[in-house]
Structures are given as C-alpha cells and as structure tokens.
Structure 1
C-alpha cells in the first residue's frame, strides 16, 4: 500500500496537462465490445479503473494492443461470451455498462453489480432495468449478479422516460439501443459531456444517435458497428480538481488540454469565491492571491455543479471567510470525508444532504484517510494549503481516477511524495480498488 505525504504551504505555479476523461473512458471501452473490427482509441487515461476494464475485455477474448501510453487498439470481434470475471467487475462502478453492451451485441448478459467508491450511497439500477425491460429484456438481480436476456436475441427499440436524471441509465440504454431493432427514444436523459462523447464514439463506428447533450436522445438501431479511430475528451473533473488545488494553495497555473465550456459550472463558483479564472481556447489560467469568499453550492446534473467536485470545493470553503452551505443534490451520504477534514481543523456540520461550513483562517496537517475517489482529492487539496505535514492514506481510491497525480503536482511546486506503507488486510481497500 501507499500513502501520500504532503508538506503544505507551497503555492502552485506553472502548467499542467489534463488527461482523457475517466467517465468517458469507462463507457467507451465497454462500447468497444459492440464493434466488429479494430477501434483505435486515443487519449485513454492511465488509471486503475481503465486498466480493470481492459483486463475484463481481455479475459472475455478481446485483442488489445498498446500503440503508446495513451492509445490502444481494441478488437472485440472474437468475443463469444456474455459473461465476465465477477471478482474484477465488483471492484468498479462502470461494470454495469457491460449490461448494455452485451445485451446490444448478444441479447444476453451476466454482469456483477457495480462497486467502486465507498461514500455510503446506494447505487440503484432501477432506471437501467426499466429501460431494458421496455426494450424486451427480462432482468433478474440475484446474489449481486444481474442476469439479463432477450426472448428474440436482440433488444427492441422503445420509448423510455427516466423517472430521475441518471447518467448511468442514459449511457447503458444508449449502448443497448445502438444495435437494437428499431428506434429508441430516451426522455429526461442526462446531458453530461461524457454522454456526448460516448454518442460521438458510437456514431463514428456507424451508430445513428441524435440529441446527446439534450434531454431527449433518439437512437436508430443499426445491424453492425465497424472499427475506426476516436479520441476521448479531456477530463472535466480532473481539470476542476487542479483548479481547486490552485485556489487552495495559491499561485497561478495554466491548465491545458481542456474544454472551457465544460468547466463553466466550476469556474463560475470559483469566481464567486474570489479566484481568477481566465478562459483560453483549450486552456484556463487560474490565479489565487486574495482571501476566499463564502458561497453556497448545490450539486445538480450537468450543466449544474458536478457532484464529483463537491468534496473539493467544500474543502476550499473550509478556509473561506464566513459561512457557506453545501447541498448535495445527487448522492446520499456523500459527506463521509468531513470527519477527516475535521482532523485538520475544518468546522463542518452535516445534516442529511446539507453541510454548513464555518470558514477558519488556516488548516493544520494531520493523518487522514480517503473514503472515496473525490474525497481523496479533497484531502490532498486540504494538505496543499495546510500548515505542516499531511499524510493521506487510502490512495488506491485516488488512483482510480487521477493519472500521475503526484508527478503533476510536484511539477507545479507542490511538496508531495508517494511513500510505501506496510501491507495491512483492509477489506475496504481491497474491495474498492
């Protein structure tokens, strides 16, 4: 196991380049399973979730060739099974995207329920089941396994209204519908950038998907997807995390390889707090010199403020002047990390989905432990701006979604080091991966 040791108080300067989007990659890689031919996918982030999915495809019979560190040729033509290795699938949230991909290709799927981060919220798949049932599949969840099967060997197009805006259900239904018989309409669909990226990937392979990025997506099923080339979009949340890191530690950093429009919901809140954010064509410049101001934040589906940035901005507000209110509008019980921030001097009161934060002048270093991916990022941000030394444990969560985090921060002037720890039998670490 590894921990991160951070000596705080060093402002960040220079530049950082953002990797491919985790949330797009973990949808596009399962989508490659549906393609007859070679997909060359560029800008793949080097993170543990991606490695896990690639290994799952390999065990199912896919041929995967590394072109360079961020480019892979994936050929799933030879896959003949509708099952995957359950132990691996239980360790990542994106395992459920294999339901849509396998149903689309084979009309049958056997997939483990999703794992991933342990922030206490349940991961219901009721909207996924609703969509696939409308498309003619029978689904049963038993002993943590989803068994899905169509009577005809192919999903049928259907009109589906999602009861809640669900990113996962939108992606999963879109995957299955790409090879379904007839037309599928998804209403009240999620609009996140990685949904648009998945649609663009599928369309580049021969699918007929329109309306991605709006609340109504229309998919005309095709008989076959063929190989091609595609480059994954930059990671909105990784970019937002480094923006928050500059806001927390101070300094000035140019964040390159971004789509500024995707960052507007994050940039707007940082500007309210007194952080300077300058948009360029494919970069943003972030400057922090003044004291941070209080603000209120409510997480919402895109284009609202992302739930995956909630812990990071909450950490910033711990040292902002005045009282701030954070309302979590997506997940239950996502404030588990505040107990760790309290060890560093943060004053936070949590009631249900709301946190009230009283700003303090300075945080102090402490030994803390990440409870999930974004909570881990928040603890690093806290450590960068704190007095003294912070040790962050549970970094396997962080490595699920951030490529070369330590190296990127060190290049900007942060004093952060990855240190090996003696192995201990911690079930939560093994399960989340």
Structure 2
C-alpha cells in the first residue's frame, strides 16, 4: 500500500492535459462485447481500473491489448455468459457487461460487483428494465442471473436517472426486436459517448443526452474505432485545485459545457474562468468565497466532485452548506477532513462547514477515488506535510496524478507505507 506525502503552501500554476473519462471507457469496453471482431478505443486513461476491466473481458473470452492510450479488444464469435472471477468482484463497472451479454447471448450470470464504498447502489432498475424487455432476472448466490428466449422492445421508465441502468438497458436494447424507449434516462456526457460509439457500430439511437432515449433494435452490430470523451471529473478536480490553492490552471481535453454547474460555483466563489471548445482556465487570486453545493444528476453538480467541493468549502471565507442527493455514504470523507482541522458537521445528507484559512496537516485515509483526491487537495493548503494513506484508490481514477501535481508546482511524494 502506497501513500502520498503532500506539502502545504503551493499555489498551483500551469497547464494540464486530461485523458479519457474513467466513467466512460469502462462501459465502452463492455460495449465491445456486442460485436464480433476488433474494437479499438483511443484516448483511454492509464488508470488501475482499465486492466481490471480488461481482465473481465478476457474472462468472457476476449483478447485485450493495452498500448499507451489505445485499447484493442478482439471479441470472438463464441462468448462466455458467466462473469465470475476476481476482477469482477473488485470492479463496480463490471456490471456493465450485463446488458451486452443479455443483448447478444440472451443469458448472463454476473457476480455482484465491488467498487467504492460510497453508498448503496442496487441493481433493481437494471433487472426491472431487462424484465420489461422480456428477460427473467434473479439474484442467486451472489450473482445477478438473466435469461430470455428473445428480447423485445419496451417502454421503460426509470425511478431515478441511473447512469448504470441507462447504460445496461441501452446496450441490451440495441439487439432487441422492436423499439425501446427509456424514460427518465440519465443525461450524462458519458451516456452520449456510449451512444455515439454504439451508433458507429450500427445501432439506431436517438435522444441520448436527454431524458428520453429511443432505441430501434437491429439484428447485429459491427466493431468500430472510437475516441473516449474527456474526463470531466478529472478536469473539474483540476479546476477546484486552482481555486483551493489560489492558483492559475489551464485544463485541456475537456469540454467545459460538461462542467457547467461546477464551473458556475467557482465563479460564485470568486474565480475568473475563460474557456474554448475543449479547454478552460481557472484563476483564483484571493481566498475563495463560501458557496453552497447540491449534488444532482447531470446537468446538476456531480456527486463525484462533492469531496472536492468539500475541500474548497473547508478553506473558503464563510459558511457553506452541502447537500448530497445521490450517494448517502459520500460524507465519510468529512471524518478525514475533520482530522485536518476542518470545522464541519453532518446531519443526514447535509453537511455544514465554516471555512478556515488554513488546515492542519495530519495522517488521513482515502476511502474512495474522489475522497482520496480531495484529501490531496486539502493537503496542499495545510500547514505542514499531510500523509494520504491508501493511495491505490486515487490510482483507480486519476492517471499521472502525482506527476501532474508536481508539474503544476506542488510538492508531493509517493512512497511505500511503512509496515504496521
């Protein structure tokens, strides 16, 4: 287990390039199961979850090669429908193979996945949607199990705009007979990215990026080459890093429209922002003003940036009120922030923070990907060296995190944790 040692006091300045989105590329890899042949994905991030997803696909019969930012997936004519091996249990995104397996093979047995401990993420909507398409779905001995003689188009209304359920049902419906309409669908840019790839494979999809997605089933799909959309969460992390450290950072590789809500909060906090088609610059030359945050599905403020927003609130001038509406366990992060002297308290899915100009260095523990990044950013404005333990969480979502921080002027060292 590695740890990061973060020295406080640096103002981050410079340019950073963002790679493809973690929340997209893993689902794009799963979509390759829908077509026999060679699928090529470019602009893929060098994160720990990528080889894990490659192992999931290999376990189903694919050949997967990762070279730089390119992932090549050879999908055979004969696939296994059983995803039950170590990589599945370690990776939440492995559930994304459920839709493609049901769409192509009409059967699937997928071990219930692992992932970040950020709250309850049941598969009810995935299963209920597949049932409406004609499948029999059960949970048996720690697996989600599905079978169908055929899948037929259906009208599906999601109880909540779940990204995972929208993705699985979108992929399954591509090879169903007839027309499927998904109401209250997730609208995230990663959904649009998946739909663009599926359309290039021969799928017929309209409405991606809106709350109503229509899929006209086709008999078969063909492999494609696709460029992964830029990672808005990583881009947002760098935007908030500039504000927290009173710095000046230009971010390339992300469409600023995908970060409209987070960037708007930074403007309210006092940042100056300029932007182009796939870049933006955040300049903060004063202590940020306190602002409130409410996490919501896209186009609202993303839950993945909530820990980063809490780090900003901890050092802002004034009182901030943060409401978490997506994952109930996200506030575990605050326990670690309080170790660093943050004046914060929680009440259910609300958090209240009185900002302090400087935090105190302390040993802290990352509990998930975004919490880990938030603790590193908090360490940049602490009064000494902060040790962030369990750095492997950060590796799952942020490629070259230490290298990029150092290039922006931070003093951050990665080292092996001492034996206990």
Q: TM-score, normalised to structure 2's length? A: 0.98
Q: After superposition, where does 1:381-400 map in structure 2 within 5 Å?
A: 381-400=377-396
CA-CA distance at 1:73 after TM superposition? 1.8
1:295 corresponds, among 291, 294, 297, to: 291
Q: Structure 1 segments of 4 or more deviating over 6 A?
A: none
Number of the residue aligned with 2:129: 131
Number of the residue aligned with 1:146: 144
Q: Secondary structure at the match of 2:224?
A: strand
8 A Cα contact 2:56 2:94, kept in partner: no
Distance 2:194 2:130 in 1: 19
1:371 corresponds, among 342, 367, 371, to: 367
Q: Secondary structure at the match of 1:226?
A: coil
CA deviation digits over 1:62-91, x for unaligned, max 9? 12234x300122111244210123321111
Instruction: Determine if the alignment matches structure 1 residue 91 to structure 2 residue 87.
Output: no
Distance 1:348 1:143 in 2: 41
Distance 1:50 1:177 in 2: 25
8 A Cα contact 2:84 2:109, kept in partner: no
Number of the residue aligned with 1:430: none
Number of the residue aligned with 1:15: 15
Number of the residue aligned with 1:322: 318
Distance 2:144 2:18 in 1: 35
Q: After superposition, where does 1:153-168 map in structure 2 within 5 Å?
A: 154-168=150-164
Instruction: Determine if the alignment matches structure 1 residue 278 to structure 2 residue 278.
Output: no
Distance 1:101 1:422 in 2: 43
Instruction: Determine if the alignment matches structure 1 residue 63 to structure 2 residue 59.
Output: no
Distance 1:157 1:93 in 2: 27
Number of the residue aligned with 1:428: none
Q: Secondary structure at the match of 1:385?
A: coil
CA deviation digits over 1:394-425, x for unaligned, max 9? 1111111111111111111110111012466x
Aligned CA-pair RMSD: 1.2
Distance 2:140 2:79 in 1: 23
Q: TM-score, normalised to structure 1's length? A: 0.95
Number of the residue aligned with 2:417: 421
Distance 2:266 2:235 in 1: 13
Q: After superposition, where does 1:34-433 map in structure 2 within 5 Å?
A: 34-66=34-66, 68-119=67-118, 121-150=119-148, 152=149, 154-422=150-418
CA-CA distance at 1:249 after TM superposition? 1.5
Q: Name structure 2 gaps, 5 residues minimum.
A: none
CA-CA distance at 1:217 after TM superposition? 0.2
CA deviation digits over 1:142-170, x for unaligned, max 9? 232111111x1x32111101111111111
Question: How many residue pairs get matched?
Answer: 420
Q: Secondary structure at the match of 1:90?
A: helix
